[in-house]
Structure formats: structure tokens, C-alpha cells
Amino acid sequence: MDRETVERVARTAHIKLTEEEIQRYGDDLTEILTYFELLDEAPESDERGINPVEIADVLRDDEPRMDIDSDVLLRGMDTYEGYVRGPRLS
């Protein structure tokens, strides 16, 4: 995988790479993707399910409930006035 692609993928995935990592992951991914070319010759299927077994939609009544107290959920979080703290958007 060329340097430009590695950098593009890393940017999309929110991973900062060092020079050494760009080179190393590029080499690793090239080797791995070359092996994955085996998929090109694999038989195709009309079935393309996401899950290996049949899955049904499960719905429940839309009734509000409190499984876990919000104070308990917020206990391990960095908060500000009861809100989860996050970075600025711009």
C-alpha cells in the first residue's frame, strides 16, 4: 500500500502515524492485501447476509424506563455541569 493511501486511511480512522509506522504498516498491509487476492477467485453467492444465522427484528413497547441511574453512568466520565465533556468543534 503506497504512502498516500496509508495516510488517507489513517486520517479517516483518526490515527496519527509516525514516519516509521507509515512505512511499517504500509509494508504489512501490502503483504496482507496481496494474500487477500485469494478472494478474487473464491466462488460468489447470491446470499449476502450480514449475520451467519437468521436474525429477526425484536421490538418492545416504547415505554420510558431507567435501567441505570444517570449519576452512575456519569461517574467515570469527565463532565461539566452534568454534561459529558468533549473537544471543541472548530
Partner 1 sequence: MSMKSTLENLESVNSKYFMFHAKTSDTDPGDAKFLFSAKDNLTSKDMETCAGSRILEGYFPAFDATAIAKMREAGGKLIGKTNMDEFGFGTFSTNSGFEVPRNPYDLERACGGSSGGSACAAAVFEDHVSLGVSTGGSICCPASFCGVYGIAPTYGRVSRYGLIDYGNSLDKIGVLSARAGDLRKYINVIAGRDERDPTSCVQPELRNEGRRMRSVAVPREGVEGLSKDVESAFNAALDELRRMGIEVEMVDMPSLKYAMPAYYVLATSEASTNLARYVGMRYGHQDGDYSLKFDDFFSDVRSRYFGDEAKRRILLGTFTRMAGYSDRYYSKARQVRQVVIQDYKRVLKDHDAVLAPTMPFTAPRFDDISKMSALDNYKADYLTVPANIAGTPHMSVPCGYGSDGMPIGMQFVADHWDEDVLFTMAEEWDKEFEIRKPEVSA
* Three-class secondary structure of residue 28 per DSSP: helix
Task: Give the binding-site size for partner 1 (rule: CB under 8 A).
Answer: 55
Window 45 to 84, contacts with partner 1 (CB under 8 A): 45, 47-58, 60, 67-68, 72-73, 75-78, 84
- Residue whose grid cell is 501490502: 30
Buried b (16+ CB within 10 A) or exposed e, 29-44: eeeeeeeeeeeeeeee
* Three-class secondary structure of residue 70 per DSSP: helix
Going residue by residue from 12 to 51, which x/- string records binding to partner 1, judged by CB under 8 A? Answer: xxxxxx---x---x--xx-xxx-xx-xxx-xxxx-xxxxx
Distance CA 60, CA 33 (A): 43
Nearer to partner 1, 64 or 86 (CB): 86
By the criterion CB under 8 A, which residues form the site for partner 1?
A: 1, 5-6, 9-10, 12-17, 21, 25, 28-29, 31-33, 35-36, 38-40, 42-45, 47-58, 60, 67-68, 72-73, 75-78, 84-90
